[in-house]
């Protein structure tokens, strides 16, 4: 079933505009939840997912449970957003800027100095990743919502909560719930593995997730007195700060309706 998330990105850097945060809850079909974290496990490997972060970076850790080596072929692996296949690996060379710095402390003269040199090198992405026995590999490459957000109906359901900890002033947290047929985003992680480097025999892992709920709140309610992008210890009854199945994005809303980003969730 084709699902396309069509996003129109318009500038929101308007003087005096109010800023909000949307928090996205996700669910999974074939992945277990362990301590508020998605975990897939079979006889050969364990995959642990952590989606928490701005825009929902698909981060995952692969642990090789075996006593022999495990191989991943990234050319045969993909991140799939709705029905759009995105490649983990491309047969191209990239030029990376490298910088090496050196620091030393001359204890006799009590002086310190540093030196640096910058250069560039053309590198080719690794197609086959080798994971030794009883070791892990971590990767994060694609965002779940990379550009925009879903516009929620302000006449829809909401929860009224304190704006900040200990404050008598309240604010509304709007929300909308979805099932797999109505969700604006289904995303999959399809990985190809083998126990041999030439991949004479392969096996696959296909983990599927979808957005099941969106909460929208004032930025002050989301961050409260906490440092930006850190998870506050309080407010857990409303916001899932320690739940790796959630992620968030920052949005703005001006008085001009033409300045608001909009989304058509389905054809």
* Tens-digit pLDDT profile for residues 187-196: 999 999 999 9
Domain count, the chain: 1
Give Cα 78 distance to the centre of its chain. Answer: 15
Judge whether 140 and 60 are in contact, CB under 8 Å. yes
**Coil, strand or helix at 148:** coil
The per-residue pLDDT for range 148-158, each reduced to its tens digit, is 667 888 788 98
Distance from the first to the final alpha carbon of the chain: 11
**Residue 237 counted as domain residue:** yes
Look at residue 83 and tell me if it is in a domain: yes
Residue 88's pLDDT band, with cuts at 50, 70 and 90, is: very high
- What tens digit of pLDDT does each residue of 99-119 get? 333 333 333 333 333 344 445
- Contact at 8 Å (CB) between 247 and 51? yes
**120: containing domain:** 6-264
Residue 1 lies in a domain: no
Q: Is residue 193 part of a domain?
A: yes
Please state, in angstroms and rounded to a whole number, the distance separating the CA atoms of residues 4 and 145: 12
Model confidence at 87: pLDDT above 70: yes
Burial zone of 237 (CB within 10 Å; 0-12 exposed, 13-18 middle, 19+ buried)? exposed
Residue 75 lies in a domain: yes
Q: Assess if residue 218 is contained within a domain.
A: yes
Three-state SS at 200: coil
Average pLDDT, the chain: 76
Q: How many whole angstroms separate alpha carbon 184 and alpha carbon 152?
A: 12
Distances (CA, A) of 243 to 46, 50, 68, 166: 19, 9, 33, 24
Q: pTM for this one? A: 0.75
Joined together, the tokens standing for residue 9 give 């990105």
Between 140 and 146, the more confident residue is: 140
At 229 the pLDDT is 43
């Amino acid at each position: 079933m084709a699902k396309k998330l069509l996003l129109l990105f318009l500038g929101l850097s308007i003087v005096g505009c109010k800023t909000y945060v949307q928090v996205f809850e996700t669910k999974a079909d074939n992945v277990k939840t362990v301590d508020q974290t998605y975990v897939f496990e079979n006889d050969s490997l364990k995959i642990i997912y952590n989606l928490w972060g701005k825009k929902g970076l698909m981060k995952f850790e692969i642990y090789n449970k075996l006593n022999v080596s495990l191989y991943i072929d990234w050319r045969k692996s993909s991140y799939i957003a709705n029905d759009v296949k995105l490649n983990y690996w491309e047969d191209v060379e990239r030029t990376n800027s490298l910088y090496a710095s050196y620091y030393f402390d001359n204890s006799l003269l009590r002086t310190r100095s540093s030196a640096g040199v910058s250069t560039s090198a053309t590198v080719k992405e690794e197609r086959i990743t080798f994971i030794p026995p009883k070791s892990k590999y971590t990767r994060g490459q694609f965002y779940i919502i990379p550009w925009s957000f879903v516009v929620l109906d302000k006449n829809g359901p909401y929860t009224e909560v304190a704006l900040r900890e200990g404050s008598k002033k309240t604010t509304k947290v709007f929300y909308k719930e979805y099932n797999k047929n109505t969700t604006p985003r289904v995303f999959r992680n399809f990985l190809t593995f083998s126990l041999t480097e030439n991949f004479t025999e392969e096996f696959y892992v296909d983990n599927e997730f979808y957005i099941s709920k969106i909460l929208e709140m004032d930025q002050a309610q989301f961050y409260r007195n906490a440092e930006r992008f850190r998870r506050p210890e309080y407010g857990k009854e409303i916001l899932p700060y320690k739940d790796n199945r959630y992620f968030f994005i920052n949005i703005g809303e001006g008085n001009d309706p033409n300045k608001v980003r909009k989304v058509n969730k389905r054809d």
